[in-house]
Structure 1
Amino acid sequence: MRLISFEQHGRVGTGLVDPSGRTVSRLCAADGTSPTMLDLVRSAGAPASVAAEPQDATPIEDVTVLAPFPSLLRNIICVGKNYRAHAAEFEASGFDSSSQSEVVPQFPVFFTKGSNTVIADGAPIPASSDTTNSVDYEGELCVVVGRKGRNIAPGQALDHVFGYTLINDVTSRVLQGQHKQWFLGKNLDGFCPMGPALVTRDEIPDVEALRLTTHVNGELRQSAALSDLLFDIPTLIATLSAQITLEPGDIIATGTPQGVGIGFKPPRYLRPGDTVTIRVDGIGTLSNPVR
């Protein structure tokens, strides 16, 4: 299933997008209420409790597509330096204050992004709010947890995945460096475009066979196979769940590949008027102008 959150005539709902991508059918619970995306994840999309109403099918251009999760259950869990080439380019940039010695991390590096950062596909990235003028892009695949779990073994990890979506982990590089940690530079309002859809795991038989690309103004900047992750999805889920209970609706952003703006000399930061487009075939295209 390809699911979206959307607004139409002042009414927010969750919809099932048809395979052509041209129409969306509003999903309704058995009692006639409109479930949120979190409701769907918690129910694992059970057809007995949630069903699409064919009479509500409408052209996709007639609705306003929101981020799949317009509000978050918890902060997005993000992974830093999870592609070898990106870890090297980030260390070489001089902005990496996360370690003194290791270029490629021995263990996953985690940080979070809050609800205030989330915006939808097509919404402008507010780069002008960063007074340091050092706004960078990071295209990433996200895993959405569908089953609660603690101490999840790597071999069972994918059974806890509901589906996948995309984010742009927008970052103020100067703030990231100045404050000697990653939270503040990555948590400015509007610094996490997400979506446009949440695609259920059954639609993606082998996520590692997919490729992530990022274009800025049509120029290819990032391109990497998801099989290139230093710490794959089962490892990330196992590592996190060994310490914290994962809940349905938790979002894990798996990291960004080489080709971010800070990796160029001089850096190629985002400017008002730019457009950033992130794509993973089978999951979708996330595109946002920069304001």
Structure 2
Amino acid sequence: MASPSFSRLVRFVPKSGSSKVLIGEPDPACVDIGLALRQGKDVCVFVWSGSSVLNPGVKTETREIIQRVLSPVSMNEIGTIRCIGLNYVQHAREVKLELPTVPTIFLKPNTALGDPWPAPTILPAITQRDDTGDYEAELAVIIGKECKNVTEGDAMDYVLGYTACNDVSSRSSQFAQSQWCFSKGFDGSCPLGPALVSKELIPDPSKLRIRGYKNKFVMQDSPLDDLIFSVPTIVSFLSQSTTLQPGTVIITGTPAGVGVSRTPQVTIREDDEFAVEILPHIGTLYNVFQNEK
């Protein structure tokens, strides 16, 4: 498991050599990496000696400038992405559904993982056919050590940290089936990042606030205390008779304001920008959409 001494880690390609993938801590530590990069600013990073946020090694004195930011965890580290549906009170109300009594779970394959901008977020051809692409701003939890049959009281011992996620959705495909794994699992439908924030920096994730911006207009805005099932509850539930490996990603649900619930409906199309902002500490995940050809 990673050293508890980091506050925020980023996985990135440096300007000094495009073939390298490095792990580092931004300098200053409080910078909103996604916002700064989107504004064309240089983001400086102290390089760590390891090659993964799961084993970052130690902080060095070497400094690099980010050329391209990547998802904090790689495709071969995450296994299957666990997803929680219908997990905000106000979101349940906007879609006119009863509050669930147990978490609603669906899965995304590791091929759904996507990098933040400047990597394009691909809008699947199946979604383009009937213009049903949608956004879902979410908090993502990264598991740091093997986790099975843990209690809610012990669950946070297994959390490595947090990042931002966009659960990109195809609504026609989703509503055509009772199971969501197909419609939620298209390639690149789970962009993640940009920074992994230590749980020590965020001891109580319910005090965070999440916002989703489509082309700079606020579409979602909610405190995380609107969650129906808290982070410890989710981790404990998912671990029952199931081993969660280090690197497991859990996305925790989206607040009210999704496009499908608006009148008129709002959809995601090519060249749209969607930003997931989680404050304090986590910062902003930017995605710019490109049609699958």
Which bin holds the TM-score, normalised by the shorter protein? 0.7 to 0.9
Identical-residue share of aligned pairs (%): 36
TM-score where L is the length of structure 2: 0.85
Question: 1:17 maps to which residue?
Answer: 26
Contact 1:132/1:175, CA 8 A, preserved across alignment: no
Q: Map of 1:252-263 to 2, 5 A cutoff?
A: 252-263=250-261
Distance in 2 (CA, whole Å) between partners of 1:205 and 1:150 is 21
Please tell me the residue identity of whatever aligns with 1:235. T
Q: Out of 189, 203, 207, which is 1:209 matched to? A: 207
Q: Specify every segment of 5 or more residues in structure 2 that has no aligned partner in the other structure, as ranges.
A: 1-6, 32-42
Distance in 2 (CA, whole Å) between partners of 1:205 and 1:180 is 36
Please tell me the residue identity of whatever aligns with 2:24. G
Q: Out of 101, 104, 109, which is 2:99 matched to? A: 104
Question: 1:45 maps to which residue?
Answer: none
> 1:196 is paired with a residue of what secondary structure?
strand
Question: 2:169 maps to which residue?
Answer: 171
Distance in 2 (CA, whole Å) between partners of 1:182 and 1:149 is 25
Question: 1:53 maps to which residue?
Answer: 60
CA drift of 1:37 comes to: 2.4
CA drift of 1:228 comes to: 1.0
Distance in 1 (CA, whole Å) between partners of 2:258 and 2:287 is 16
Distance in 1 (CA, whole Å) between partners of 2:148 and 2:84 is 19
Question: 1:95 maps to which residue?
Answer: none
Question: 1:36 maps to which residue?
Answer: 52
CA drift of 1:77 comes to: 0.5
Please tell me the residue identity of whatever aligns with 1:126. I
Q: Specify every segment of 5 or more residues in structure 1 that has no aligned partner in the other structure, as ranges.
A: 29-33, 41-49, 93-101
What's the RMSD between the two structures over aligned residues?
1.6
Distance in 1 (CA, whole Å) between partners of 2:187 and 2:220 is 24
Question: 1:6 maps to which residue?
Answer: 12
CA drift of 1:176 comes to: 0.7
TM-score where L is the length of structure 1: 0.86
Structure 1 residues 128, 113: closer, same or farther in 2, change over 3 A?
closer
Deviations 1:152-206 (A, max 9, x none): 1111111111100111000100011123321111111111111001011111132
CA drift of 1:219 comes to: 1.0
1:26 aligns with 2:24: no
Q: Map of 1:1-291 to 2, 5 A cutoff?
A: 1-8=7-14, 9=17, 10-18=19-27, 19-21=29-31, 22-28=43-49, 34-40=50-56, 50-54=57-61, 56-60=62-66, 63-71=67-75, 72-90=77-95, 92=96, 103-122=98-117, 123-127=119-123, 129=125, 130=127, 131-281=129-279, 282-291=281-290
Q: Would you tell me which structure has more helix in proportion to its own residues?
A: 1
> 1:202 is paired with a residue of what secondary structure?
coil
> 1:26 is paired with a residue of what secondary structure?
strand
Paired residues, number: 264
> 2:55 is paired with a residue of what secondary structure?
helix
> 2:54 is paired with a residue of what secondary structure?
helix
CA drift of 1:70 comes to: 2.5
Contact 1:127/1:133, CA 8 A, preserved across alignment: no
Contact 1:147/1:160, CA 8 A, preserved across alignment: yes
Please tell me the residue identity of whatever aligns with 2:284. T
CA drift of 1:20 comes to: 4.7
Distance in 2 (CA, whole Å) between partners of 1:286 and 1:128 is 20
Deviations 1:32-73 (A, max 9, x none): xx4222334xxxxxxxxx11221x20233xx21111113143
Deviates more, 1:279-288 or 1:175-184: 175-184
Distance in 2 (CA, whole Å) between partners of 1:250 and 1:215 is 27
Please tell me the residue identity of whatever aligns with 2:247. G
Contact 1:139/1:213, CA 8 A, preserved across alignment: yes
